[in-house]
Amino acid sequence: MGAFSLAAVLVLGNWPLLSARHVPRWDAVDFFEPSFTLVGDALRAGQLLKWDPWSGGGAPAWVEPELGTTSPVLLTATALPLSPRRGYVLYWFAVWMFAGLGMLLLAKHAGCSPSGATIAACGFVASGFFTGHAEHVSSVYSVSFLPWILWRFDVGLERRDWQCGVQAGLLYGVSALGGYPEFTILTPGFLALWAVGRTFAWPRAPRLESRQNVRFPAIITFGAVLIVGALVMCTPYSGLLLRTRGYSDHLGPRVRETAISSNLLPAGALSTLASPYLANLNLPPHPLWPSTDISMTSVYTGAATLVFAAFALRRIRSRWSLAAIAALFLCCALGSQLPLRGWLYDLVPPTRYFRNPSLFRAYFILVVCFLAALGASDLREARLAERVRFWRLSAVSGLCALVVFEWVSRTAGKFSPFERMGVAHLCMVWFGLGALSYFWKANRANARYFWGLAAALACLDAVGALIISRPTISDSPLPWLVAANIAHNPDMDLTHAGLARDLLPLPSLGPANNDRNTMIKEAVLENYLTAQVLTNRFQHEMITDPALSRMATGASRIWFSAAPVWVSPERSVFTQFQRRVHELDARPVLVLHSPQQMLGLPGENTPEAPATGIPEVLDAAPCIPAPVTNLIYKPNLISFRYDAPSQGYLLVTDRWADGWQATVNGQSTPVLGGDFIYRAIQVGAGPNLVQFRYEPAGFRPLVAISWGTLLVLALWQCRKLLPG
């Protein structure tokens, strides 16, 4: 019944999107749907997506965990015989539903009744996190696994069973394949705090808590999660740590100010606990909290969920460890408004590698929903005095919610089309819960009716929250968006298009800074993937300078030079290079960098050492166009013939990355860096058969380890189901 109720809630709340009358919003169609489509096109062509030649002059797609290029879950979804839009929406919906099912199981583990579990699960799936981040499928994917991971981890702690830790590790590893890296970093810390709470606080508490000594088993269980999870997620994270050097300078820790202040949860946004409508006040053109993205501003968990969670904390000291964990993550979500996020940055090095403090609130919402399950379980067996206390709590909470709603709405001074619905929703869920609890404590309704109506009210609360939050979930399709989806081209071979490349995605695909060009297989020099994710300072300079971008766009973008200059890829040298190209009326010159120099590219936040002995490039000779024949152009292969006028070097204006290998006339030769971000190779006078292949070291073994771990441990777990 709980699963059916959840499905009904998500279908009713998102019906315009599921019925194809609406389309996803913002990043969902700018980045995640195109990447989902591209991964599926590669799979249908019989390969895993390693190199994406259509994005940013070429990009090592396999190293970005959000793309899920080696995720069994995402690959299975892309293999379905559906259109890209329908396949993506189905995947998005299935991931969201998976989150609710996990919360149902976690609530059942807490000893909760089906009605109480439904209340907790509805609060989770309609929370401000899911409605805000509906556009960010990687974040939804990561958080959808959290209740499942916590369920198996807590069972392992309770039973002192390390095999449950293995199961949690499998889930944790899969959550990282296609998930947002910040959650991959934070989840072990959350589980560690959970284990500490169970070890030192919970043994004296009733019901869930065991009185056995769980310290050593807790360490073993936690270790199993980390080891198994690391094996499963090894492919993209090894690539991210090792194979992006020289390609992206988005390496190393974030600047402290960026890490603690960028997209924090505004203190005023805590008011969204009262109503999901208040988050809509942060929509443009006049956002209430302009420093934070709309997706990061809601912590709504449902009226019943919040009241039951508060009820669970009455006079049960052991559960205050849960409240402390929730408070810690909520305080970290506030970022620089409190010192906790800064202390975490200073004391826990892994937390220096991400920004968006508001994402910490996902763990706050998870704990609140778990506490709600405990509170519902307690109330089911409560005596009259406890029911009176619950009624008072409901009444006071409803009044507080009304006051907060009115105050924030007046402060915003703006009107939203959903305001009337927000008022009706608030009155229905908060005062409806108060009325139900009053009739129950007054013995005017038996327990069966109370719990049935409470679960129904939670479902209505969730549906209302999804409808009110629709501006952050879906919108009516625009003509260019429909056209981009219809024009989907599944062909993974670029040979017929030659070397043609545009600077940015076509205007007909919508506003700039998107990846929709990959859906129609239009190669560009800059799009969302390289502008926002795998950034490079020199790439940005190339894009913004027309003289520099011209060498890497168009149909003829391979160049020859007999007199290149060997330099280190440093900012001061780039300035000279840029000046020389302008002096030559946008004709390129060739500056070369060794593979070691490319791999030594400093991170974006790492100051460069003072340049010493920089070769002068202001007298470098211009390159000449290099017309090629017999072109074969595929994602992981480019082959062509070129008759060189003399011995020299070819500049191929595809991005350099660790993992590219080359041969000239069958002889292996180093792939050099050229003009700071491109590839260069030495050729001899006369005919040359040039081949580039992308074979990143360790890719196949890493995939074998990841999938092999999943397969072996899944079979090992399945053996328990066999008779005998």
Confirm whether 470 is domain-assigned: yes
Q: Give, to the nearest 10 degrees, the angle between helix 447-468 and helix 419-426.
A: 160
Amino acid at 427: C
Cα–Cα distance for residue pair 705/36, rounded to 1 Å: 23
646 SS3 class: coil
Confirm whether 495 is domain-assigned: no
Taking the CA atoms of residue 447, residue 449, residue 451 and residue 454 in that order, the dihedral angle to the nearest 10 degrees is: -140
**Cβ 40 vs Cβ 61: under 8 Å:** no
Cα–Cα distance for residue pair 626/504, rounded to 1 Å: 24
Same domain for 565 and 447, yes or no, is no
Confirm whether 36 is domain-assigned: yes
What is the phi/psi pair of residue 59, to 5°? -145, 140
Amino acid at 452: G
What distances in angstroms separate CA 305 from CA 83, 120, 208, 430, one per listed residue? Answer: 37, 6, 20, 11
| Averaged pLDDT score across all residues of the chain | 92
Same domain for 469 and 567, yes or no, is no
Which pair of structure tokens corresponds to residue 471? 């501006």
Domain-ending residue, one of 445, 475, 505: 475
Q: Tell me: pLDDT of 721 over 70.
A: no
Same domain for 26 and 169, yes or no, is yes
Confirm whether 567 is domain-assigned: yes
Question: Counting beta carbons within 10 angstroms of the beta carbon of residue 192, is it exposed (0 to 12), middle (13 to 18) or buried (19 or more)?
Answer: middle
Confirm whether 498 is domain-assigned: no
Per-residue pLDDT at 611? 53
Confirm whether 44 is domain-assigned: yes
Confirm whether 504 is domain-assigned: no
Per-residue pLDDT at 318? 76
Residue 683 structural domain: 556-699
Per-residue pLDDT at 508? 87
Domain-ending residue, one of 475, 507, 527: 475
DSSP secondary structure letter of residue 655 = E
Per-residue pLDDT at 716? 86
Q: How many residues does the chain have?
A: 724
Percent of the chain with pLDDT over 70: 95
Q: What is the CA radius of gyration of the chain?
A: 28
DSSP secondary structure letter of residue 502 = B
Per-residue pLDDT at 273? 97
pLDDT digits (tens, 9 = 90+) for 109-168: 988 989 999 999 999 999 999 999 999 999 999 999 999 999 999 999 988 888 999 999
Q: How many domains are there within the chain?
A: 2
Going by their DSSP bridges, the two strands 565-566 and 591-593 should be labelled as: parallel
The answer for 675, left when phi > 0, alpha when psi is -120 to 50, beta otherwise, is: left
Find how far residue 282's CA is from the centre of its chain.
Answer: 22
Amino acid at 220: I
- Taking each continuous run of H as one helix and of E as one strand, the counts in the chain are 32, 16
Average of pLDDT values for 12-26? Answer: 95
Per-residue pLDDT at 608? 59
**Is-cis flag, bond preceding 610, omega within 30?**
no
Per-residue pLDDT at 724? 45
The answer for 646, left when phi > 0, alpha when psi is -120 to 50, beta otherwise, is: beta
Same domain for 465 and 575, yes or no, is no
Domain-ending residue, one of 453, 475, 497: 475
Query: Which pLDDT band holds residue 206 (cuts at 50, 70, 90)?
Result: very low
Question: Nearest CA to 3 among 140, 102, 95, 88?
Answer: 102
**Cβ 299 vs Cβ 164: under 8 Å:** no
Confirm whether 689 is domain-assigned: yes
Q: Tell me: pLDDT of 213 over 60.
A: no
Query: Which pLDDT band holds residue 512 (cuts at 50, 70, 90)?
Result: confident
pLDDT digits (tens, 9 = 90+) for 460-487: 999 999 999 999 999 998 888 888 888 8
Q: Tell me: pLDDT of 21 over 90.
A: yes
Which pair of structure tokens corresponds to residue 20? 């194809």
Lowest mean pLDDT of 77-81, 343-347, 410-414, 592-596, name the range: 410-414
Record the pTM.
Answer: 0.95
Question: Nearest CA to 502 among 40, 55, 7?
Answer: 55
pLDDT digits (tens, 9 = 90+) for 561-596: 999 999 999 888 999 999 999 999 999 999 999 999
**Cβ 364 vs Cβ 272: under 8 Å:** no
